[in-house]
Amino acid sequence: MALNVFDHDEYRPPVWKSYLYQLQQEAPHPRRLTCTCEVETRPKYYGREYHGMISREEADQSLSQAEGSYLIRESQRQPGTYTLALRFGNQTRNFRLYHDGKHFVGEKRFESIHDLVTDGLITLYIETKAAEYIAKMTINPIYEHVGYTTLNQEPTLKKLLPQSPEAPDGPVPVKEDRNAEERLTSLVRRATLRESDLAPKYEKIHNFKVHTFRGPHWCEYCANFMWGLIAQGVKCADCGLNVHKQCSKVVPNDCQPDLRHVKKVYSCDLTTLVKAHNTKRPMVVDMCIQEIEARGLQSEGLYRISGFSELIEDVKLHFDRDGEKADISSNAYEDLNIITGALKLYFRELPIPLITYDAYPHFVETGKITDTEKRLESLHEALKLLPPAHCETLRYLMGHLKRVTEYEKDNLMTSENLGIVFGPTLMRAPGLDAMMALNDIRYQRLVIETLIRNEDVLF
């Protein structure tokens, strides 16, 4: 029986830790040291903080008055390159400075030098003061204590929103953030989701992207503040989980995509789509196959004859817009070849093919085996390499294609013919290697043909 977190006596909303937030407030503020004379060689994207070609010693002497003071100088050793000289920790630190439309010294890119220095001072201060604390942030994460699978009701959200975070040495007041509910959505979702007996237990890695958060944000893995001015952490593009970059390396592969982030059906990662919609297989696969079988499998050239591409694109548009509410009935699309074309297009547009890039070499090697029994054994092992959602979808599709072959006297579609059609659709050579793809076509056909003929044994 599934655990409902609200019925569990030991469940408590997470305690948000403000130690790092407090340190960010204490960090030195940037102090621009302006040059009193006009420097003719000053690049147009620098201001009065540019001092021209001065030595390290001169820069150090000029900056010695105040923590956080900074200037830009041209390197004497490498003319044409620029250095940011920054006073921190009672010493002058020098950073090679770059500009490509934005200013940067590392991965982060800034609109202004002031923002770059502000972020740098925050990072230097926190990483100096709390190095040991940061190293231990991933120990005992709150993430492990918050479970989820399917979205529950919204009213529970407000009960879990933190009113003010608590530091190890006492609470620090934090201004109310009008976006607080929004920025905590993904973690709150985890706490308000219930297990469903029918929900597939597919594993999915998070799709983390570097993200700039507006207003104070806390990591939803370790509950610590995400410091900095921009790019403070990463956000999962599929479920909205916000975490530190270092925390993202230890977050479990249990992404539960949110439909607010997953806005398409076609061209969407298969596992992401089925988890977002809480289904065993992509709804486009189920709906198209059910429609095709409902209309009958006797249609000559089924899957071989193409429908009008404009109407196939129209079906795609309807699925992307309406999802499972898309109308693909005969009233909407009289030509069955439009539906078969839409199904093939779905598989062609998967960013990771149904038979994945990782598993592709193993399937191709299987196609090269001439002994039938050994080929089946090899295929059985190769299927284990597929992600569960891919394997389930392949099983369902092969069962359907097997039923298509039962009417081959009418539709003229044998397992060999279907292998020719679906081989390149379901299997794509990794790395877009044209020669490899050309050489592998016959093996792709043999693999799909064998899967169709033996779907009852292999799955």
What pLDDT sits at residue 173?
A: 39
Q: Could you give the CA distance from residue 443 to residue 447 in angstroms, rounded to a whole number?
A: 6
**Residue 368 token pair:** 């090269």
Spatial CA neighbour of 254 closest among 271, 233, 232: 271
Find all residues with CB under 8 Å of 12, minimum gap 6, and list them: none
In 251-352, which residue ranges form alpha helices assigned H by DSSP? 270-277, 283-295, 309-322, 336-348
Please give the backbone phi and psi of residue 242, each rounded to the nearest 5 degrees, phi first.
-105, 120
Above pLDDT 70, what percent of the chain?
84
What pLDDT sits at residue 33?
A: 95
In 304-433, which residue ranges form alpha helices assigned H by DSSP? 309-322, 336-348, 360-367, 372-383, 388-405, 408-411, 415-426
In 82-163, which residue ranges form alpha helices assigned H by DSSP? 113-129, 131-135, 157-160
**Residue 8 token pair:** 């569990």
The identity of residue 404, as a single letter, is: V
- Residue pair 297/355 in contact by the 8 Å Cβ criterion: no
Rounded to whole angstroms, what are the CA distances from 319 to 101, 266, 285, 350? 40, 8, 11, 14
What pLDDT sits at residue 140?
A: 79
Dihedral angle of Cα 3, 184, 172, 69, to the nearest 10 degrees: 140
Radius of gyration of the chain, Cα coordinates, nearest whole angstrom: 29
> For the chain, how far is it from start to end, CA to CA, in angstroms?
28
Q: List the chain residues with pLDDT less than 50.
A: 1-11, 147-184, 189, 191-197
State whether residue 112 is helix, strand or coil: coil
Q: Which residues pair with 121 in a beta bridge?
A: none
- Residue pair 397/419 in contact by the 8 Å Cβ criterion: no
What pLDDT sits at residue 408?
A: 95
Place of tokens 């193409």: 306
